[in-house]
Chain A
Amino acid sequence: MAMKRLPKFLLSAALVATMATSFSAVMAATPPDTLVQAWQSDDIISLDPAEVFEFSASEIMGNTYERLVAYDVKDVSKIYGQVAESWTVSPDGKTYTFKLKPNRKFASGNPITAEDVVYSLHRAVSLDKSPAFILGQFGFTKDNVKDKIKQTGPLELTVEVDKPYAPTLVLYCLGNSVASIVDKKLLVQNEKDGDWGYNWLKTKYAGSGPYIMRDWKANEVLVLERNPNYEKKTPLARVIFRHIKETASQRLLLEKGDIDVARNLNPEEITAVSKNQDIKIASAPKGTVYYLGLNQKNPNLAKPEVRQALKYLVDYQAIADTIMKYKGDVHQNFLPKGFLGAETNNPYKLDVAKAKELLAKAGLKDGFSVTMDTRSTSEIMGIAQAMQATFAQAGIKLEILPMDSKQALTKYRARQQDIYIGNWGSDYQDPNSNADTFAANDDNSDNAKAKPLAWRNAWDPGPLTAKTRAAVMERDAEKRAQTYKELQKSVLDDGPFVIFLQQTEVAAVRKNVDNFVLGPSFSDNDVSQAKKN
């Protein structure tokens, strides 16, 4: 007992010590064992890994929970065991057997056993929240999951998928935050009316990651604290995320030293702070692409020449260099750089003459009028206005309809837009995540069950759907990559998507902070090794 209390005592002692020093300091400073970040975290609606599907909360999951497997953020093709020590795949490609590392513990002190892993996966499938499809796509349902995912020993379990998928797909999905390992004992204690502890875990914590989620006040602050039971002790005792909506305020706090990291600065602010001696800029390409969706229900947009013409009417480079400076690079294929088989060729550039030619071929020599549903954030509005100007050069009158993001999304999901401007982040690190939404559409009818982006734009990709389905079965990575290259080319040439940018995430960090890692997805943004000098 006394031993257990010691770290807490030390923490409070450190806290008092830092307070004492902060009084005398003229310049504001954060405590040396605490990383303070400012970010816009109002998208957090839950901290239950079975439910989390938002950017900010994913990042918290990445730093507080562990999964069976994980991948190297510098080279995502390197998959390694996190809670798992090793795994094998059966010859028929359908059964995965995992052996767990011995002597691992949750933050609560409970040992991590195969029972916990099985419980966690059953739980995610049974709760069936937004991200559950990531596991559900392998044929698991509430009713069969108990037979498909089974404990076979104290530290051993099997996962049986319904088809012989490419193993990397299965592993990437088991490495997703929805498959995070939760502390069964703790959750059973907090269960109410068979809810799998859902109402409790929404705001509480039951994991084994580098940090413990200590406190969350929505729209105010979120506090992570070092997990003493984690196998590798974090250099910092605490990480605090302050919800600061105003980017100008974030900049002030950073320059003043009241925070260590500003996460949401706009391009001008980044330019300004990058001149400050005490601040450095961290950045990483993200698995998110920006695109226009052209609804094929609009007869003009349904013409192949018009789709082509619009691809020639975007000034890709200008957008990347000005409005999205620091925040994105030109990218025209649906797979983001870093994914298996991702194409990096960008054949389209602004070419008004070519676009006019194509429009004439489509019988629209004088152009046409069309609307674009636009979320009213300054970034998206800026891009939309740039496109409005270049579209006009070929006689296309683009009317921008600014609206709230939820409103735009509601219309988009009902296929009521002409053009939608949006961004799409991959759900997991496998190329199927984006191929499934951009290049496949099993049912293009109005009341289809699945509603991928191809459906939202009323596009029937024809043979591409079957090709996408086949790609997930290909166990030869080389061949699989080839199929994705072909799919990208087809969508690039003829699809109803004008993909124009891949997002880069930027953070402004004070010089004395080291090992602050931005990864390819938000759950890979890693503070577990961050330290301060």
Chain B
Amino acid sequence: MVSAVMSGGGGHVGALRSFLKKVVQFVIVLATTLLGLVAVTFFIGRVVPIDPVIAIVGDRASPQVYERVRQELGLDLPLIQQFWIYLKKAVTGDFGNSVLTTNPVLTDIANAFPATLELATLGTLIGVIVGIPLGVLAAVKRGSFIDQFVRVLGLAGYSIPIFWLGLMGLLLFYAKLGWVAGPGRIDVTYSYLYTPVTNIVLLDTAMQGQWDAFWDAVSHIILPACLLGYFSLAYISRMTRSFMLNELAQEYVIAARVKGLSEARVIWRHALRNAAVPLITVIALSYANLLEGSVLTETVFAWPGLGQYITNSLQNADMNAVLGGTLVIGAAFVLLNLVSDLLYRLLDPRTR
């Protein structure tokens, strides 16, 4: 009895210690990842044969203006020194100003990131809600029509260019049928009816009781979100199917069936629960992919998110913005990995 309590207490301390260790580990991973990311992007940005000064002064500036701006940007300093200055500022959250928007890069990202977050979150939700049941069904009815259907659906999701699908979606649901609103995040008529607080339009409009604006925003986001959701579900359903097939072949499933549990209970409560553990990672990865990979969707739908921000910046040699944007995405990637890692531990005691 006593020893049990002791060992229980020791277990708690051990758990706490392991958790702290995990946190420290995470901070180190985050810091080194970001540092590596900054270094690589910074040097690539400086090595490419594009002159950022031209982005600012334009094609026709006099040599004096050109030289002055070059010095203002510190581009006359040695590369290593430039990097060091950049790092020192970046640590304090100062990523410099964007050439294109003239705002501090951090402000721009704070504006653009919520738009991407909103879209990717909704996309992932759709992917999870539709993808998991589909994957489970496909595994259970292996070889059946449903299974074939899910596999084709997944394959198509992989092979059809998102860009094309987006345009087709617009043509059909917006231009032809008029079910949804066109490109953009909210209609101009509504865009001045609410105050951006979180910059997540659905949230802002709902919190401020601007329901017409809210529904207009819904009508704008539904198509791009479904599109991203489709790509997400293509991946999630395929992985769910394979994890479930794996679980259904395990002995404990057979044991459960022998015990006389209902088939539904066996599948949804037992097998899926175990399959859920690796699925968490899949979902997190898919989410991260949507965050970084929504560039084309954002272009087709004129969605003012991070993807569009970075592409625009790249095209205009706006290196401060590119660096800042890349870092945010890098950080999101690392964070999502950590979250999935923690959930993994939580759900699967064996990994504790």
Q: Which residues of A contact B (CB under 8 A)?
A: 15, 18-19, 22-23, 26-28, 30-31, 34, 36, 42-46, 53-54, 128-133, 136, 202-203, 217-221, 240, 242-246, 248-249, 252-253, 255-256, 258, 404-407, 409-411, 413, 427, 449-451
CB distance from B299 to the nearest CB of A (A): 6
- Which B residues are CB-close (under 8 A) to A240? 188
Pick from B38-46, B123-131, B169-177, B285-293 the stretch touching chain A: B169-177
CB atoms of A46 and B65 under 8 A apart = no
Candidates B51, B101, B299; contact of A409 at CB < 8 Å: B51
Residue of B nearest to A215 (CB): B192
- For residue B3, CB closer than 8 A to chain A, the reply is no
- Which A residues are CB-close (under 8 A) to B159? none
CB distance from B176 to the nearest CB of A (A): 10
CB distance from B51 to the nearest CB of A (A): 4
CB distance from A259 to the nearest CB of B (A): 9
0 or 1 for each of B31-72: is its CB under 8 Å from A? (1 = yes):
000000000000000001111001111111111110010000
Candidates A28, A248, A407; contact of B50 at CB < 8 Å: A407
0 or 1 for each of B181-214: is its CB under 8 Å from A? (1 = yes):
1111001111110000000000000000000100
Give the CA-CA distance A91 to B63 in the complex, in Å.
35
- Which A residues are CB-close (under 8 A) to B181? 28, 258
CB atoms of A218 and B100 under 8 A apart = yes
- Which A residues are CB-close (under 8 A) to B228? none
Candidates B61, B68, B302; contact of A244 at CB < 8 Å: B302
CB atoms of B317 and A253 under 8 A apart = no
Candidates A28, A45, A248, A409; contact of B59 at CB < 8 Å: A409
CB atoms of B50 and A249 under 8 A apart = no
- For residue B328, CB closer than 8 A to chain A, the reply is no
Give the CA-CA distance A449 to B317 in the complex, in Å.
25
CB atoms of B183 and A45 under 8 A apart = no
CB distance from A287 to the nearest CB of B (A): 14
CB atoms of B167 and A248 under 8 A apart = yes
- Which B residues are CB-close (under 8 A) to A129? 57, 61, 65
CB pairs A–B below 8 angstroms (23 shown): A19-B189, A19-B212, A27-B178, A28-B178, A45-B99, A129-B57, A130-B58, A130-B60, A133-B62, A202-B102, A218-B100, A218-B101, A240-B188, A244-B184, A245-B302, A246-B299, A249-B167, A249-B300, A252-B171, A256-B178, A406-B315, A413-B54, A413-B59
- Which B residues are CB-close (under 8 A) to A451? 63
CB atoms of B183 and A249 under 8 A apart = yes
CB atoms of B56 and A45 under 8 A apart = yes
Candidates B100, B170, B212; contact of A45 at CB < 8 Å: B100
CB distance from A221 to the nearest CB of B (A): 7
- Which A residues are CB-close (under 8 A) to B49? 407, 410-411
- Which B residues are CB-close (under 8 A) to A255? 175
CB distance from B204 to the nearest CB of A (A): 15
CB atoms of A409 and B54 under 8 A apart = yes
Residue among A22, A36, A219 facing the most chain B CB atoms (10 A cut-off): A219
- For residue B326, CB closer than 8 A to chain A, the reply is no
Residue of A nearest to B192 (CB): A15
Known: A129-B65, A220-B304, A255-B175. A244 touches B54 (CB 8 A): no
CB distance from A468 to the nearest CB of B (A): 17
Give the CA-CA distance A31 to B183 in the complex, in Å.
18
Candidates B54, B56, B312; contact of A42 at CB < 8 Å: B312
Give the CA-CA distance A53 to B62 in the complex, in Å.
13
CB distance from B193 to the nearest CB of A (A): 8
- Which A residues are CB-close (under 8 A) to B7? none
CB distance from A485 to the nearest CB of B (A): 25
Give the CA-CA distance A219 to B98 in the complex, in Å.
12
CB atoms of B212 and A246 under 8 A apart = no
Residues of B276-318 whose CB lies within 8 A of A: 299-302, 304, 308-309, 312, 315-317
CB atoms of A242 and B184 under 8 A apart = yes
- For residue B246, CB closer than 8 A to chain A, the reply is no
- Which A residues are CB-close (under 8 A) to B98? 218
CB distance from A409 to the nearest CB of B (A): 6
CB atoms of A406 and B316 under 8 A apart = yes
- Which B residues are CB-close (under 8 A) to A30? 188
CB atoms of A246 and B103 under 8 A apart = no
CB atoms of B182 and A221 under 8 A apart = no
- Which A residues are CB-close (under 8 A) to B59? 409, 413
Candidates A22, A23, A34, A244; contact of B183 at CB < 8 Å: A244
CB atoms of A410 and B189 under 8 A apart = no
Give the CA-CA distance A246 to B312 in the complex, in Å.
13
Known: A203-B102, A404-B50. A221 touches B65 (CB 8 A): no
- Which A residues are CB-close (under 8 A) to B178? 26-28, 256
CB atoms of A410 and B51 under 8 A apart = yes
Known: A19-B212, A253-B182, A258-B182. A243 touches B58 (CB 8 A): no
Give the CA-CA distance A136 to B61 in the complex, in Å.
12
Known: A130-B61, A245-B299, A404-B315. A252 touches B170 (CB 8 A): yes
Give the CA-CA distance A255 to B175 in the complex, in Å.
8
Give the CA-CA distance A449 to B49 in the complex, in Å.
22
- Which B residues are CB-close (under 8 A) to A23? 212
Give the CA-CA distance A507 to B221 in the complex, in Å.
28
- Which A residues are CB-close (under 8 A) to B68? 128
- Which B residues are CB-close (under 8 A) to A130? 57-58, 60-61, 65
Given A130-B57, A244-B183, A404-B315, 11 additional A-B pairs, CB 8 A: A15-B189, A18-B189, A22-B189, A44-B100, A218-B98, A219-B304, A246-B302, A249-B170, A252-B170, A409-B51, A449-B62
CB distance from A272 to the nearest CB of B (A): 12
0 or 1 for each of B325-343: is its CB under 8 Å from A? (1 = yes):
0000000000000000000
Residue of B nearest to A252 (CB): B175
Candidates A28, A221, A242, A406; contact of B55 at CB < 8 Å: A406
CB distance from A366 to the nearest CB of B (A): 32
Known: A246-B299, A249-B300, A252-B182. A406 touches B54 (CB 8 A): yes
